[in-house]
Structure 1
C-alpha cells in the first residue's frame, strides 16, 4: 500500500508540476473541490500546494473589503481618533442594494452616526459590514467613493494583482468586478505585513461601545472556522477574511498554522453542499477544513541534499602532480514534499565544466547540481571545490605561452613574417637571376 501511494504521489508530481522553477509543484487532493477558484500555498517555502482555476476571473464578493481595510491601514495615520460619519447617500445606497439583492450584511449603523475608522475596520473584518466599508471609502477618498475605488485598483496593480478590477469598497454583486484566487493571496500576504492587521483578522468578537446614536455596538465574527462552538471550528485557523452572498456563493481567505507549518488558502465562490449542512453559506468553511487537513497530514519538510555531499572529481589543469579536483555540494537543500516520498528518491544531475584550471580555492563555485524528482526539477544547489589546488608556475607560464600562440595578433604576426620571408626569398631569386644575366652580357 505504501508503494502504491508513493507511486501515486510521484505520478501526480510529474503531471502537475508547473514549469521548471524551484518549489512550484501543485498537487491534487484526494477529494473534489466545489469552489470555483482555489489557491493553497505553503508560506514557509512559498510552494504552491494546490490550485484550481487560480487565475480565473471571479467576482470578489466581500473579499473586496480586504483591500478597503488595507488602504485604511496605509492611509489613515491615527485610525483610533479618525472619525467617519454615516452620510445619507451611504444609507440610501445600502437600502437600494438590500432591495435589489437582498441578504446584505450590515453593522447596524445609522445616518449621521459617528464612529472611528478603527472600529469600522473591525466591523468590516468581523461582520463583512457593507456600510462600514462605504464609510471607510468616504473618509479615505475625501468624500468620494468612486475616487476610493480608483485607489483600490491602483493599489491592486502596484501589488501585482493583474487579474483584478474592483468596482466598490464592499464587493456586493457586480458583473464588472472581478479578481482571482492568486491575486487574493497576494493581497492577503501584503495585509499580513501591515502593523495592526493581525489584531483585526484574529478577532472573533468586538465591543464597539456607544456612539452618538447607538447605545452599544457589538459584533461577532462570520468566520465560523474561528468559533469554538461551530462544527467548522479549526484551532489552526486565524483569520483572514470571509464573504458570502446567495447569488455568488461562499468565500474564505484563511491562514492556518500547525506543528511549525503555515498555509494560506483562498477559496472563492463555493456552492457545493458541505458535510455539515446543506447551506452554501458554509461551503467554503467545509472545503477549507478538508484542504488544510489534507495539507497538514500529507506534506513534510525534508532535507533532500546535505551540505558537503561529495560529487566525485572534475579534471584539473595547471596543478603539478594533480590531475583531478574533489567537489561537493555548497549548501543544504530542504523542500516540502509528500511524506510518502523518501529523500532517497531524489536524483542528482550535475552541470560541470569540462575541466577546472588552477589555482582553485576551497569552497570556490565550480558548477551546480539539479535535484530531480520523477523527472521534474525541484531545486538547484551550487557545487564547490572540496579542496585547495595551487597552480604550477612552470605549467602556468607554458599555458600562457600556448595561449598566446592562439591569439589573433600572434597569428597575424606569424603570417605577416611568413609573407615577408616569402617576398624576401622571391626578391633574392630575382636579383640572382638578374646578376647572372648581367654577367653574361659583360663577357
Structure 2
C-alpha cells in the first residue's frame, strides 16, 4: 500500500507542477493518420506534442490488461512466490471465441509473475481472468469493481470496465487521455516496463503443460517476426484488437535524449495501420522537434513601478526559472513572444526571489508556457516615504472617512443647535422687553 501511495503521489505532484508552469503547444504532422484517436506525449517533459480526439470514448480491447496488471503488481508482494490455479468456470465466456491465449489449461497452476507475462506479452485473456478470480477472492465482478475504483483514483474519469481482459462489452470504454494516465501510472510501477519490453518469455513445465515460450503480439518490437513493421526504437507497451474497437496500440519509443508515449485507438481492423501510423508519428517527433531553452533567468523581461524606496522607482523582474520546451527545429528564443502579467506597482520592502506576477510565452499566437517573475535583489523601505504612505492610506481608509463624516455631522448639528439656541434666546429677550 505504501508503494502504491508513493507512486500516485509522485504522479499527481508531477502533473500539478507541469500544469502550473507550462501550457504546452500542440502541433499537427504533415500527414493524416487513420486512427479514431491518438495522443503523443513526451515522457521527459509531459508535453503533449500531438492529439486527435483525446477525450472520445472508445473500446479499449486488450489495452484493458494494463489495468489488470496494475492491480496485480500492487496487490501481490512476491509475484514469483504466489500462485493461482485456472478454475473451470473461467473458460465459459470464451467458448466459441477466437481469442488470444497462452494455452493455459483447466486446473493449471502458474505463478503470478508468469500470469503477468502471459497477459502483457502474449495478451492471454484467460490469464487476465485467472488473476481477476484470484485477487477478487473468487469473484471476477469484485475485481472489476477494483479496476473501476483504481481508474477513478488515477484520474481516468471517462473510463469504465466490465471485465479484466478487454473482450467487447458496450459498457467497457475509455479515452486516449485516460489511457495516457493509466499507462503512465503503470510505467512508474517498478518492474512493469521490464515486462512490456520483452518479446519472448519462457515458462517452465507446469502441472498441466510442457515448457512453452510466450511471443509478443507487438510486431514493432519483434525483430524476428516483425518484418517491415519492426522499429528498434519501440519498447512496449500493449496491443489490443477487436472488430468493434478496431486495432489499438500503446507504445513507448526512445531515440537519443527523447522518450515518447503514443496511444493509437481505432485503426481499421483489416490492415496494419496501427503499426505504420505509429512509426510515422515517431519519425515526425524525433526528426522535427528538439528541446530548446526559450527563456533564461539571466535577462530581465519586465519592470514594474516601485514605491516607498529612495533607491529606485522601477524594479526589474526576472524569470524565476529558465524555460525549455519541445519546439520545431527552426524555432529559437527570438521566435517566442514574452507577455508579462504584472501589477501596476509594488511597494518596498521587496525580498530577493519574491514572486511578482508571471510571464506568458506565446508562439504563433498560442501559449506554450508560463513562468513566475521574481526580484533578483532586496529593496529596503524608506521610513519617511513609508510614513507618508501610511498617512495616505489612513486618509483613504473607510474608517477615516467615516470618522471625518461623523465629525462633520456633529459639527453641523452643533452649529444648528447653537443657532437654534441663540434664536430662542433672542425671542425670549424680545418678549421680556415688550413686557
Q: How much does 1:192 deviate?
A: 0.9
Change over 3 Å in CA distance of 1:412–1:108 after alignment to 2: closer
Name the SS of the counterpart of 1:369 in structure 2.
strand
Work out whether residues 349 and 369 of structure 1, in 8 Å CA contact, stay in contact via their aligned partners in 2. Answer: yes
Instruction: Note the residue ranges of structure 1 that are not aligned, 5 or more in a row.
Output: 1-18, 273-278
Name the SS of the counterpart of 1:293 in structure 2.
helix
Deviations 1:365-398 (A, max 9, x none): 2222211111222212222224333222122112
Work out whether residues 67 and 147 of structure 2, in 8 Å CA contact, stay in contact via their aligned partners in 1. Answer: yes
Q: TM-score, normalised by structure 1?
A: 0.86
Work out whether residues 91 and 110 of structure 1, in 8 Å CA contact, stay in contact via their aligned partners in 2. Answer: no
Change over 3 Å in CA distance of 1:146–1:348 after alignment to 2: same
Q: How much does 1:63 deviate?
A: 1.0
Instruction: Note the residue ranges of structure 2 that are not aligned, 5 or more in a row.
Output: 1-18
Change over 3 Å in CA distance of 1:196–1:442 after alignment to 2: same
- Give 1:334's aligned residue: 324
- Give 2:34's aligned residue: 34
* Aligned equivalent of 2:131, options 103, 112, 136: 136
Q: How does 1:186-201 map to 2 (within 5 A)?
A: 186-201=181-196
Supply the distance in 1 between the matched residues of 2:404 and 2:39 (Cα, whole angstroms).
68
Change over 3 Å in CA distance of 1:141–1:20 after alignment to 2: closer
* Aligned equivalent of 2:390, options 378, 392, 400: 400
Supply the distance in 2 between the matched residues of 1:20 and 1:358 (Cα, whole angstroms).
27
Supply the distance in 2 between the matched residues of 1:218 and 1:439 (Cα, whole angstroms).
127
* Aligned equivalent of 1:233, options 224, 227, 230: 230
Name the SS of the counterpart of 2:301 in structure 1.
strand
Work out whether residues 22 and 371 of structure 2, in 8 Å CA contact, stay in contact via their aligned partners in 1. Answer: no
Deviations 1:42-70 (A, max 9, x none): 12222211122222222211111111111
Name the SS of the counterpart of 2:220 in structure 1.
helix
Supply the distance in 1 between the matched residues of 2:23 and 2:424 (Cα, whole angstroms).
84
- Give 1:105's aligned residue: 100
Q: How does 1:209-358 map to 2 (within 5 A)?
A: 209-229=204-224, 230=226, 231-245=228-242, 248-271=245-268, 280=271, 282-320=272-310, 322-358=312-348
- Give 1:416's aligned residue: 406
Deviations 1:68-87 (A, max 9, x none): 11111122222212221122
Q: How much does 1:152 deviate?
A: 1.8
Supply the distance in 2 between the matched residues of 1:91 and 1:307 (Cα, whole angstroms).
62
Work out whether residues 237 and 255 of structure 1, in 8 Å CA contact, stay in contact via their aligned partners in 2. Answer: yes
- Give 1:121's aligned residue: 116
- Give 2:377's aligned residue: 387
Work out whether residues 21 and 378 of structure 1, in 8 Å CA contact, stay in contact via their aligned partners in 2. Answer: no
- Give 1:183's aligned residue: 178
Moved over 6 A (4+): none
Supply the distance in 1 between the matched residues of 2:339 and 2:217 (Cα, whole angstroms).
51
Deviations 1:184-241 (A, max 9, x none): 1111111111122122111111110010121212111111111123222222211111
CA RMSD, aligned part only?
2.4
Supply the distance in 2 between the matched residues of 1:240 and 1:352 (Cα, whole angstroms).
45
Work out whether residues 329 and 382 of structure 1, in 8 Å CA contact, stay in contact via their aligned partners in 2. Answer: yes
Change over 3 Å in CA distance of 1:354–1:226 after alignment to 2: same
Work out whether residues 233 and 253 of structure 2, in 8 Å CA contact, stay in contact via their aligned partners in 1. Answer: yes
Deviations 1:303-338 (A, max 9, x none): 111013223532222223633223322221111112
- Give 1:23's aligned residue: 23
Work out whether residues 59 and 244 of structure 2, in 8 Å CA contact, stay in contact via their aligned partners in 1. Answer: no
Supply the distance in 2 between the matched residues of 1:32 and 1:293 (Cα, whole angstroms).
14
Supply the distance in 2 between the matched residues of 1:380 and 1:187 (Cα, whole angstroms).
27
Deviations 1:231-276 (A, max 9, x none): 222222111111234564322111112211111111123117xxxx
Q: How much does 1:20 deviate?
A: 12
Work out whether residues 20 and 376 of structure 1, in 8 Å CA contact, stay in contact via their aligned partners in 2. Answer: no
Work out whether residues 21 and 377 of structure 1, in 8 Å CA contact, stay in contact via their aligned partners in 2. Answer: no
Q: TM-score, normalised by structure 2?
A: 0.88
Supply the distance in 2 between the matched residues of 1:330 and 1:165 (Cα, whole angstroms).
41
- Give 1:78's aligned residue: 78
Supply the distance in 2 between the matched residues of 1:78 and 1:22 (Cα, whole angstroms).
40
Change over 3 Å in CA distance of 1:129–1:427 after alignment to 2: closer
